[in-house]
Amino acid sequence: MKPTIFVARHIPDEAKAYLKEHCLVDKWEGGGPIPRERLLERLGEAEGLLTSSVEINAELLAHAPRLRAVSTISVGYNNFDLAAMKARGIIGMNTPEVLDETVADLIMGLILSTARRIPELDRYVKEGRWRRGDDEVLFGLDVHHKKLGIVGMGGIGEAVARRGKFGFGMSVLYHNRHRKPEAEAALDAVYLSLPELLREADFVVLMTPLTPETKGLIGAAEFALMKKTAIFINASRGAAVDESALFEALNSGRIYGAGLDVFEHEPVAADHPLLSMPNVVTLPHIGSATESTRNQMAMVAAQNLVLALKGQTPPNIVKELK
């Protein structure tokens, strides 16, 4: 008999058809994210759950007595309560790698937009402030042949490093839990401690997963180490950064600018101090947001879930739940 699953978000037709081939599918059809109380009501018979940002914790598991596997359409899995899932023997899966190149494209866009002040100067023209003879008021920073510092040299970090080195002639510095000799050889990447990287890099790109060890990883002490001309890019998780310290570093001129695709609380409040700063480029967490990549991610998540419910080993079980 086919296992019963609940799909807690919209997914492409291809992924939906695949799941229906292998499972009995109950699906949220409402507009927008499913309300928490409605989700809990729908999990009584579910053996599998497909989601992207739903918090998987003890409360949810108490409403899902038959649940065996959860598959998230994202590379991050900080919404998984790993201890609660382990206690129930529930498999958790994510979708790494498939989004690496797309997110790396966005990060390079943030680097260029922040360094050359593209959004700020777009407004400058559209608001009619451009005058003949404007010169230094339009200046930005070069990207080419600068030092690119990557904190978290996973698949996305390596994709960013390739773009920086081979597209812009940048020197690649990196900090990671473990050294990566292959990346060092292929990219002439130089491994540094975190303080060394922060002192040396012209562009600091944060790409760590959110874990207890990385929460608040970059704060006032770290910003104090950076060059005054440094640009900070965060496309990982907002909670890895002390946003008050980032605001102070930018407001005081301690660093030059920032490009942010993520915030500690999302959606970010309209009165958030960082949104008022002209030297900050802000995006609504769109790292993987292209139709092609999101469709691939949904399909990978669906395949992960089906394999887990068939008693096979999916390729993307999160390491803490293996």
Reported for 133-142, long-range contacts at CB under 8 A and 24+ positions apart, including other chains, are 140/115, 140/116, 141/115, 141/116, 141/202, 141/229, 141/231, 141/256, 142/115
Active site residue 116: no
41, 59, 213, 266: the catalytic one is 266
Active site residue 22: no
Q: What is the pTM of this model?
A: 0.91
Predicted local distance difference test score (pLDDT) of residue 11: 95
Predicted local distance difference test score (pLDDT) of residue 31: 81
116, 199, 272, 285: the catalytic one is 285
Are 28 and 7 contacting, i.e. CB atoms less than 8 angstroms apart? yes
Active site residue 266: yes
Predicted local distance difference test score (pLDDT) of residue 12: 95
Are 23 and 309 contacting, i.e. CB atoms less than 8 angstroms apart? yes
- The structural domains of the chain, ordered by start, are 4-98+291-321 (3.40.50.720), 100-282 (3.40.50.720)
Strand-pair partners of 260: 234, 282
Chain segment 70-96, per-residue pLDDT in tens = 999 999 898 999 999 999 999 999 999
237, 243, 254, 294: the catalytic one is 237
Chain segment 262-280, per-residue pLDDT in tens = 999 999 999 999 999 999 9
Predicted local distance difference test score (pLDDT) of residue 106: 98
Burial class (CB in 10 A: 0-12, 13-18, 19+), 56: buried
Which stretches in the chain have pLDDT values below 50?
none
